Amino acid sequence: MNKIITIFLALIIAISIAIVIILMFLFPKKNYIIRKTWAKFIKKLCFYKIEVKGEFDNNARMIILNHRSMLDIIALEDVYPKDLAWIAKKQIEEIFFFGNIIKLPKMISIDRENARDFIRVINEAKDRLESNRNISMFPEGTRNDGYELLRFKKGASMLATKLDVVVQPVIIIGSKEILDSKKLSIHLGKKLTIIPLKPLQANELDNARDLMQEAINEYFKENK
């Protein structure tokens, strides 16, 4: 029965993404509102709750997060108070039709196999900041099965240094327990916790992984 519900919900989510793409094409100036509304729809569809423990810093122009599920993006879009420009791998943008979820809202794709592509990423990130959007990315570079953070890629630190921005690390707990996109598994009615941490200057990002890991460990220690 759970498998049937999961397949049904996965189909609804896929259809909803297609609808979001069409709406963003028709109403490009409303893409932020469309994404925000969609994120709240997914929350109702999967009957999960979001608890935010802490505050998002108004001075931070870049967000870095741990990454375990597609739901990480959806949940942050739901609660974050500003328009986000996500940095995503180029392969997502190249997916037929669904790649428009990157192109239409002017997210930033990156070709990890081409070091020179980083110059374009910096220029596009500057453009998004000038348009009053904040940059968001996953420094682990891929989804993680557990809560022991992977080694951070250099891209986040390099980008923050080039942009000279304040960076706020954010921890997300419980996303994969709700939506495991690798195993195509959805569990209804759970809680997802988002923990904004103390903002860091660009030159402090070498400590970001340790600080985020400490926050994760502390959360599980308090919630045994």
Q: Which amino acid is at 14?
A: A
Using one digit for the tens of pLDDT, what is the confidence trace for 118-174? 999 999 999 999 999 999 999 999 999 999 999 999 999 999 999 999 999 999 999
Confidence of residue 1 (pLDDT cuts 50, 70, 90): low
Q: Where does 93-165 show beta strands of DSSP type E? A: 108-110, 134-137
2-222 fold: Glycerol-3-phosphate (1)-acyltransferase (3.40.1130)
pLDDT computed for residue 122 by the predictor: 96
SS3 170: strand
CB contact set of 204 (below 8 Å; sequence gap of 6+) = none
Reference 131, options 159, 107, 114; nearest CA is: 107
Domain limits of the chain? 2-222
pTM: 0.94
Q: Is the pLDDT of residue 212 over 80?
A: yes
Tell me how far apart the alpha carbons of residues 221 and 224 are, in angstroms, rounded to a whole number: 6
Rounded to the nearest 10 degrees, the angle between the axes of helix 117-130 and helix 155-163 is 50
pLDDT computed for residue 184 by the predictor: 78
Partners of residue 192 on adjacent β-strands: 50
Reference 125, options 160, 167, 175, 174; nearest CA is: 160
